[in-house]
Structures are given as structure tokens and as C-alpha cells.
Amino acid sequence: MQIEQTALAGVVILTPQRFGDDRGWFSETWNAARMAAAGLDFAFVQDNHSMSGAAGTLRGLHYQRPPHAQDKLVRCTRGAIFDVAVDIRRGSPTYGHWIGVDLTAANGKQLLVPKGFLHGFVTRAPDTEVQYKCTDLYAPDSDGAIRWDDPAIGIDWGLSAAPILSAKDAIAPLLADFDSPFVWEGAE
């Protein structure tokens, strides 16, 4: 597995190796022992799977606050997405900064989004499926969102038209109105 660090400490791109033959291919997308040896020690407890029918569907920017904060390992198993992580750890030198990665069924890349980061994605193809593992169970009382188009964050989603949004995402607050429960605890 190729492990690539990003400009946001803790956010990592994982590219599993694919082994192919005339039947197709096989890929190990997570191996707890190998990942722990590489410094990525996560105990995933919930798997999620979403399907978005239309290209231009935007989900995010989401987080789950403590005590139910989640680390997420995200991959696209059909179609294509532009996947985004935003640092929301108070005191972090990269607070409000974002990175984006193209995750497709073809490239097999995965994005590891740790606690203390917003997560969101926009679909680039119709009938796109996204699967992600989480280190805590979904807790509605801990669920939150920040505006996908917050000018203080300035994400370039690569959209040519308005995205398709949920009602929750359409009215999410701005980062400036958010009192982050996440605190930066390390050197970068």
C-alpha cells in the first residue's frame, strides 16, 4: 500500500496495490496490523455506503463532535468524487485550510480524514458510490456541518453549476460562527 502524506498533518492518501489477472483484480483496502506498523492505528466500528444519482451532488462539509468524533477512511467504489478535508482544530497552524483529492473507482485511492477535520465530497459522475469506515458510531446529537461554499475556506469544488445539496447542508453555518470542539495537540 502506498501511503502519501498531505499538506494537512494527519490527512493521508492511501493507494492500495491491485493484483490483476484475466478475471479482474483484487485489492486489500485495509489491514489493521500493517497500517498500525505504519503509524495508522484505527479501530473502525461502522461502515457507510452512499449512492448519488447525479453528478454535482455535494455532501458536506460534515463533522461529528466529541464524544462521538470520527476518523473516516473514504473510497469511491463506483464513479468519481472530489473528496475534501478541512482542518478545524483550534490552535492549528493549518486551521481552515483544505485539501482535495480525486477518488475514483478506477484509481482506487482512499482518503483518511482524522477527527478534527471537516469532510465533504462532490460527485463527478452519475450513479457514484462512496464507502467509508468510521471509528465511532453515528450519533445524531453530535452531528454538525459547515457551509460547503464558505468564502473563508475557499474550496474550489470545480463546479460549473449549483450543486445538489441536502436541506441540512444548504443552511449550514459559516466557519466564523463555529466554536470548534477540536483542539490541535501536536507539532506539525
**Whose grid coordinates read 484505527?**
42
Say if 188 falls within a structural domain: no
Q: Is there a domain that residue 70 lies in?
A: yes
Residues 62/86, Cβ–Cβ less than 8 Å: no
In contact, 136 and 45? CB cutoff 8 Å: yes
Q: What is the pLDDT of residue 28?
A: 87
Q: Is residue 59 assigned to a domain?
A: yes
The enclosing domain of 48 has a CATH number of: 2.60.120.10
Q: How many domains does the chain have?
A: 1
Separation of CA 50 from chain center: 13
Q: Please report whether residue 186 resides in a domain.
A: no
* Residue 119 located in a structural domain: yes
Grid coordinates standing for 153? Answer: 475556506
Specify the DSSP element, H or E, that contains 61: strand 58-64
182 lies in a domain?
no
Domain range for 118 is 2-177
Partners of 176 in the β-ladder:
none
SS3 content of the chain, % helix, strand, coil (to 5): 10, 40, 50
Active site residues: 62, 132
pLDDT mean values, one per 10 residues, the chain (188 residues): 94 93 90 89 97 98 98 98 98 97 97 98 98 98 98 97 97 97 84
Q: What is the pLDDT of residue 186?
A: 80
| Cis preceding-peptide flag for 67 (omega within 30 of 0) | yes
Q: Judge whether 85 and 178 are in contact, CB under 8 Å.
A: no
> Which pTM was predicted?
0.95
Q: Please check whether residue 47 lies inside any domain of the structure.
A: yes
pLDDT at position 187 is: 64
